[in-house]
Chains A and B, each alone.
Chain A
Amino acid sequence: EVQLLESGGGLVQPGGSLRLSCTASGFAFSTYAMAWVRQAPVKGLEWVAGTSAGGGSSHYADSVKGRFIISRDNSKNTLYLELNRVTAEDTALYYCSRSFTGPRRFWGQGALVTVSS
């Protein structure tokens, strides 16, 4: 059974940083591209970033480019998202999901990030 478990969410001040983790199990993690998708109350679902299976290629939404970094450690079956210089607009539930793009069959339960002073 495919399982994705996010962690690392919490309250962060504007301009601050946070790192989310997603631990995968039930499939060959190192052979799949992965992505982060977020859901904010006002803006709905938004693809944030994706990375190739080996981690050598990454792409970002314009809204986070230059501030967020997606990475992975295939030896630990773990996907990361580093959030930097956050603003209130980054407040959202962050999901990790299998595949770079396409129909999303597998999602984690989400990690809540709240940006507030």
Chain B
Amino acid sequence: DIQMTQSPSTLSASVGDRVTITCRASQYISDSLAWYQQKPGRAPKLLISRASNLESGVPSRFSGSGSGTEFTLSISSLQPDDFASYYCQQFNSDPETFGQGTKLEI
């Protein structure tokens, strides 16, 4: 199985900050990567598909980049609603696998 490694595990930031989360794949996955946001008690919400494609309705302050084995999720200006956990997912090879998550906290 392909291992997905996210960093950092926890990220402390303030409203208005720009933050970046990194996800590394143990093997080449092209652009077969998605990013999710999850809040306590809720299912994950898809933010970005195909490494950089922003889902409809997701604020433009979110952006994704990367290809191959290294990917990033950036939030340009943190809003109070953005404090949550974030996960990456590879779907290039079965089984799909997820990163361990990054908790974004104030």
Tell me the smallest distance from the CB of A4 to a CB of chain B, in Å.
Answer: 9
In chain A between 80 and 112, which residues have their CB closer than 8 angstroms to a CB of chain B?
95, 101-105, 107-110
Q: Is B16 an interface residue (CB 8 A)?
A: no
Contact with B along A3-36 (1 / 0, CB 8 A): 0000000000000000000000000000000000
Query: Taking CB as reference atom, which chain B residue is nearest A46?
Result: B98
Q: Which residue in A44, A62, A104, A110 is a CB contact (below 8 Å) of B46? A: A104
Tell me the smallest distance from the CB of A67 to a CB of chain B, in Å.
Answer: 16
Q: Which residue in B49, B96, B99 is a CB contact (below 8 Å) of A47? A: B96
Q: Which residue in B1, B50, B87, B94 is a CB contact (below 8 Å) of A101? A: B94
In this complex, the interface size class of chain B, counting residues with CB under 8 Å from chain A, is 20 to 34
Report whether B91 and A101 are in contact in the complex, using a CB–CB cutoff of 8 Å.
yes
Report whether B101 and A44 are in contact in the complex, using a CB–CB cutoff of 8 Å.
yes
Report whether A109 and B91 are in contact in the complex, using a CB–CB cutoff of 8 Å.
no
| Residue tally, chain A, CB below 8 Å to B | 17
A44 neighbours in B (Cβ, 8 Å): 87, 98-101
In the bound complex, CA of A12 to CA of B75 (Å) = 41
Q: Is B95 an interface residue (CB 8 A)?
A: yes
Q: Which residue in A47, A101, A107 is a CB contact (below 8 Å) of B44? A: A107
B residues in contact (CB < 8 Å) with A: 1, 34, 36, 43-44, 46, 49-50, 55, 87, 89, 91, 94-101
Of all A-B residue pairs in the complex, the 7 with the closest CB atoms, nearest first, are A107-B43, A103-B49, A45-B98, A103-B34, A101-B96, A47-B95, A102-B91
Instruction: Report 26 cross-chain contacts, Cβ distance below 8 Å, ordered by A residue.
Output: A44-B87, A44-B98, A45-B87, A46-B98, A47-B95, A47-B96, A47-B98, A59-B95, A62-B1, A95-B43, A101-B91, A101-B94, A102-B34, A102-B49, A103-B34, A103-B50, A103-B89, A103-B91, A104-B34, A104-B36, A104-B46, A104-B89, A107-B43, A107-B44, A109-B43, A110-B43
